[in-house]
Chains A and B, each alone.
Chain A
Amino acid sequence: MAPTPLNVPLLNVANLACRRGGRPVFDRLSFALGAGELLALTGRNGSGKTTLLRALGLLVAADAGSIRWQGIDVARDRDAWRRCFAWLGHLDGLKADLTVAENLASACRLREEPGDRIDSSLVALDLGSLADRAVRTLSAGQRRRAALARVLATAAPLWLLDEPLNALDATSQAALRLALARHLASGGIAIAATHAPIDVPNVRALLMEEKKDR
């Protein structure tokens, strides 16, 4: 067996192309990410940031190209791939009638994870005092924090975040940066679609450009 190079990229995306409604959103998109790296997707509205994240999560089928995790095509074992990443969508994905703690607990059970990180993730995003409040009574920023806490509560090495800073105040943004830096320092990877710059070490930017109709 050939020895594995030390800095082999964990996530390798090659020549990825995606069309929505007959219009090319992006094509020949390639990047590689190693442990401890954050990829910030920037670009105008409609430039395909969300579509790229959804294609990485296999929610949207890519038309061409490959996504490899640790050298293995992710389409080969979708379930194993889904356990590798945590998802924060454009929508929070919280049930309004459940409390924050219940939302996190049911999300962890759905992922078949023990949920032993729930308490620490609540503390990290300063949600300790809101844990037993129904999500419907929270503000937009508090809900976003609860959704982020759901990502922190998983053991997934890769975070896919769509506009994580949305609706967050300065204190919460700082808390998220700290949580992100900690995740990266422990060998994690994150891909975040964002308009505001995220100030953590090892951040790389990918500017998505709007495709003209052809």
Chain B
Amino acid sequence: MTGFAALLARDLRLVWRRPGDVMVVLAFFVVATVLFPLGIGPETNLLARIAAGILWCAALFASLLSLDRLFAADYEDGALDLLLLAPLPLELAALAKCGAHWIVTGLPLALLAPLMGLLFGLSGPGLAALGLTLLAGTPTLSLIGGLAAALTLGARRGGALLALLALPLCVPTLIFGAAAVESVAMGEGFLTHLAILAALGLLSLATLPWAIAAALRQAGE
């Protein structure tokens, strides 16, 4: 486990040295969500109804924004070889890297989204549903994005390809995340949605690290 902790700590420290990378992601999220009221107009009812979809989509795009560097940086400076040669199983290494990505993007996005929801006039329970579903759903986004990042290693225009690969896979998470806030607005609970999001998260946790490791081994050849 020391190798896992070492890799996680190294990646978090690297982000700490360059806080701008995270700030850009969060700023993109804020700017992108603020654009919608400007484009649609100040109709509070309409905005409150579509807020969840907008915030979820913006969070999805924002978390994709920093993903193309997830493995590419290690690939370019040779650190990927050291990961491949470490006694730590590559699946755990992939999990550590996706975990670090979630801590610096998914987690802050889940905390920031309710604040943005306030601007859209979401109710208290709606805000809670938004924050909690993002908290449960963003780990899945980080893992799916990690797979896309590993698959596009070394490809030209990797960034665009990455989004093209990752976005369709994120659809189930997006549907249940946005639907949770909707169902709260209808006066129903969102526990079912939260449970499905958690199940999706566990499913990706149980499968994607292996797929990412296989893609990384391929890239290392």
Contact = CB atoms under 8 A, between A and B. Distances in A.
27 contacts: A59-B81, A59-B221, A60-B221, A79-B87, A82-B85, A83-B87, A87-B81, A87-B82, A89-B78, A89-B81, A90-B78, A93-B79, A94-B78, A95-B14, A96-B77, A98-B13, A102-B13, A106-B10, A107-B82, A109-B2, A109-B5, A110-B3, A110-B6, A110-B10, A110-B83, A110-B86, A134-B17
B220 interface: yes
Secondary structure at the A interface, as helix, strand, loop or mixed, is loop
Interface string B185-199: 000000000000000
A59 B81 CA distance: 8
A97 B88 contact: no
A60 B221 CA distance: 5
Contacts of A107: 82
Interface in B202-221: 220-221
Interface residues of A, number: 26
Contacts of A59: 81, 84-85, 220-221
Nearest to A79: B87
Contacts of B78: 89-94
Given A60-B221, A102-B13, A94 B85 contact: no
Interface of A: 57, 59-61, 79, 82-83, 87, 89-98, 102, 106-107, 109-112, 134
Nearest to B73: A95
Nearest to B83: A110
- In this complex, the member of B13, B76, B79, B221 whose beta carbon has the largest number of chain A beta carbons within 10 angstroms is B79
Contacts of A61: 221
A106 B7 CA distance: 7
B87 A82 contact: yes
Contacts of B77: 91-96
A98 B81 contact: no
A107 B10 CA distance: 10
A82 B13 contact: no
- In this complex, the member of B85, B87, B88, B220 whose beta carbon has the largest number of chain A beta carbons within 10 angstroms is B85
Given A109-B3, A109-B6, A97 B18 contact: yes
